[in-house]
Amino acid sequence: MPREIVPFEKLQQLVLDLAKVRRNHRMPGDERRENVVEHSFAIAMLSWKMFEMTKPPLSLEKVLKYALIHDSLERGMEYDVNTYAGDAERKAKKERESKELESLNGEFLDFAGFTSSLNGYEERKDEEALFVWSVDKLQAKILGGMDAWRPYRLYGVGYGDFCRKGEEQLEKCSPYLKEIFRGVFEESKKTYYDRPKN
């Protein structure tokens, strides 16, 4: 194989590996789960749209790079770990992702933009990283609502837990997305599968 092809094949293999990682959300109207590549593309598109809506004094280039790579540390997992998972499961995920970050930093020494974006996003080192983190939390609510809250119902996330987690996320949310986040969250509560009936 020509040496010129090797770095591109390595990157293509990473994309193929991430496409195998299934998330809790299904595709609305289907049993197939969203994978990490589909999710990352959705986050990039939503980030771009929300960036145009809010016009923050941030770098769109950096936002889109973070959006594309934000879940790369999930490579090798069969399933993503749910936001509502217990402390032990979340801790194990964090440890596993720490090792994966080290591995990817070593594998992609020749792709400095990728590794610096990976590290920057994991450290939440700037407002662009927080912007993408916030969009990631919003996308779960948008896709969940489009699917009649099936992943939340199947995972057993009650209305109280959904509201508590949403309030935590709103508190941490990018200041440039607070209004959008609050709006999506309030609309989500109106359609949530086990919301209290008045």
Instruction: Give percent of the chain with pLDDT exceeding 90.
Output: 84
Across the chain, mean pLDDT equals 94
- pLDDT tens, position by position, 65-106: 999 999 999 998 887 888 888 888 888 888 999 999 999 999
What pLDDT, on the 0 to 100 scale, is given for residue 165?
97
Going by C-alpha positions, the residue among 59, 60, 21 that lies closest to residue 40 is 21
Instruction: Judge whether residue 1 has pLDDT over 60.
Output: no
Task: Domain 3-191: give its CATH architecture.
Answer: Orthogonal Bundle (1.10)
* Tokens read off for 75: 């490579």
- Selected residue with higher pLDDT from 6 and 109: 109
**Intra-chain end-to-end CA distance of the chain, in Å:** 67
- How many CA atoms lie less than 13 Å away from 121 in the CB half-sphere? 25
- pLDDT tens, position by position, 144-160: 999 999 999 999 999 99
What pLDDT, on the 0 to 100 scale, is given for residue 3?
64
- Only one residue has tokens 């809010």, namely 54
Residue ranges per structural domain of the chain: 3-191
Element housing 35 (H / E)? strand 33-35
For 126-148, the DSSP string reads SHHHHHHHHHHHHHHHHHHHHTT
Instruction: Judge whether residue 171 has pLDDT over 80.
Output: yes
* Tokens read off for 181: 């986040």
For 82-115, the DSSP string reads PTT--HHHHHHHHHHHHHHHHHHHHHTTT-HHHH
Q: 119 and 165 in contact (C-beta within 8 Å)?
A: no
Continuous H helices in the chain: 6-19, 36-54, 60-69, 87-107, 112-123, 127-146, 150-155, 159-172, 178-191
